[in-house]
Chains A and B, each alone.
Chain A
């Protein structure tokens, strides 16, 4: 039973386009959602996160949109660059991040120059 689901499994965009990565969750008690970025041969690293009290979080070209009612969120990467090519993991936790972190299966993003 996957508590955090991601789609698509892989995504290819052209340089300059906006990449949209989707995530959904089942447990309504989840209230903290970090996104981790993983480059080939490296471990994941925290990219951006959002608490469920917010519906949007921006950090440069990266924006999380959050819909609590539908239990869905998405990561938008504006003006995608080849250097953004990586696997992106959506994760979830409860009680504002004090619970165990549950990871989705990841979206592999390729940005073509």
Chain B
């Protein structure tokens, strides 16, 4: 049974529109992460959270907001979607900060037109 799930699995959005990507984990982990995957860039950290109601900026936070309403749920919000935000987005969780094994969701493919 998948421990990290993401919804939607794919989405097409219009430029300037608002997009919300959702992540749910059943690992009982404190840490959750949002990554962006682009060809040639690997995975880059956008936002992360270590406790409900608190989020932190990662390496590429511009244009993104995050929300952690509970330990299990973590959302990524694009208030004004842009063409450059077309990518695959992964959510992950871990029981401690950093490189200790992170468990990834299946990803959301976002296309902004």
Q: Residues on A close to B: CB < 8 A?
A: 4, 6, 9, 32, 34, 41-46, 89, 91-93, 97-101, 103-106
Contact = CB atoms under 8 A, between A and B. Distances in A.
A9 to B, nearest CB: 8
Interface in B59-113: 90, 92, 96-107
B45 interface: yes
A101 B42 contact: no
A45 B42 contact: no
B4 interface: yes
Contacts of B58: 100
A104 B44 CA distance: 9
Given A42-B106, A98-B97, 19 more contacts: A41-B106, A41-B107, A43-B4, A43-B107, A44-B43, A44-B90, A45-B104, A46-B101, A46-B102, A89-B42, A92-B99, A93-B99, A98-B99, A99-B99, A100-B45, A100-B99, A101-B98, A104-B42, A105-B41
A7 to B, nearest CB: 12
Interface residues of B, number: 22
Contacts of A45: 103-104
A6 B101 CA distance: 20
Interface in B1-57: 4, 40-45
Contacts of A101: 45, 98-99, 102
A34 B58 CA distance: 20
22 contacts: A4-B42, A9-B40, A34-B101, A41-B106, A43-B105, A43-B107, A44-B43, A45-B104, A46-B101, A89-B42, A91-B99, A92-B99, A98-B96, A98-B97, A98-B99, A98-B100, A100-B99, A101-B45, A103-B44, A104-B42, A105-B41, A106-B42
